[in-house]
Amino acid sequence: MERTLIIVKPDAVQRGLTGEIIRRFEQRGLKIVGMKFMQVSRELAQKHYAEHEGKPFYEGLVAYITSSPVVVLALEAKNCVELARNMIGKTKPVEALPGTIRGDFGVEVGRNLVHGSDSPTSGERELALWFTPQELTGWARVVEPWIHE
């Protein structure tokens, strides 16, 4: 089953939106297989955002993600990556549709509330960065047949 990494970013945690954001994914039917509250180190932030190194917004991005604690989730579902990205909305909140997390709560690209992996390959890479294998728990969900046919 496909997995994705979600980060409830510092602004969302500070604004008390952690529960609201997790609720949306949970109610959609994405299964939580890992979750933790943590302060992000500069080293982890640099690894996570390696593809953006050298871009004008890179230093601000690393400063933002390390500025205050985050909640990270490992979610699992069929087409989990695309489902989550659609729920998160476009990178720039001004372009994100109402009904998406960024479209409902965001204003600025530098305060866009949540991260979601952009492909199944990125999902695997990012989950390996953010979670140890022991922190990911496969479990049988009793409602599974009512979510996945």
Please state the separation of Cα 97 from the chain's center in Å.
18
**Which residue in the set 26, 118, 124, 135 belongs to the binding site for Mg ion (CB under 5 A)?**
118
Instruction: Give least dist CB 88 to Mg ion, A.
Output: 10
Catalytic annotation present for 115: yes
Stretch that binds Mg ion, among 9-17, 105-113, 115-123, 126-134 (CB under 5 A): 115-123
Taking CB under 6 A as the criterion, which residues in 19-48 touch ligand DAT?
none
| CA distance linking residue 116 with residue 74, whole number of Å | 10
Binds 24, which of ligand DAT, Mg ion, none (CB < 5 to 8 A, cut-off by type)? Answer: none
Give the binding range for ligand DAT (CB under 6 A) out of 36-44, 93-101, 110-118, 131-139. 110-118
Nearest to residue 127, comparing CAs of 91, 89, 84, 73? 73
Any idea which residue has 């695309």 for tokens? 82
Q: Name which of 118 and 135 has its Cβ closer to Mg ion.
A: 118
In eight-state DSSP terms, residue 144 is: G
Q: Which is nearer to ligand DAT, 52 or 148 (CB)?
A: 52
Count interface residues toward ligand DAT (CB under 6 A).
9
Tell me how far apart the alpha carbons of residues 109 and 100 are, in angstroms, rounded to a whole number.
14
Residues 6+ apart with CB under 8 A from 31: 75, 76, 77, 139, 141
**Nearest CB to ligand DAT, comparing residues 77 and 84:** 84
Residue 100 lies near ligand DAT (rule: CB under 6 A): no
Distance CA 115, CA 11 (A): 12
Residues with catalytic roles: 115
Q: Which residues bind Mg ion (CB under 5 A)?
A: 118
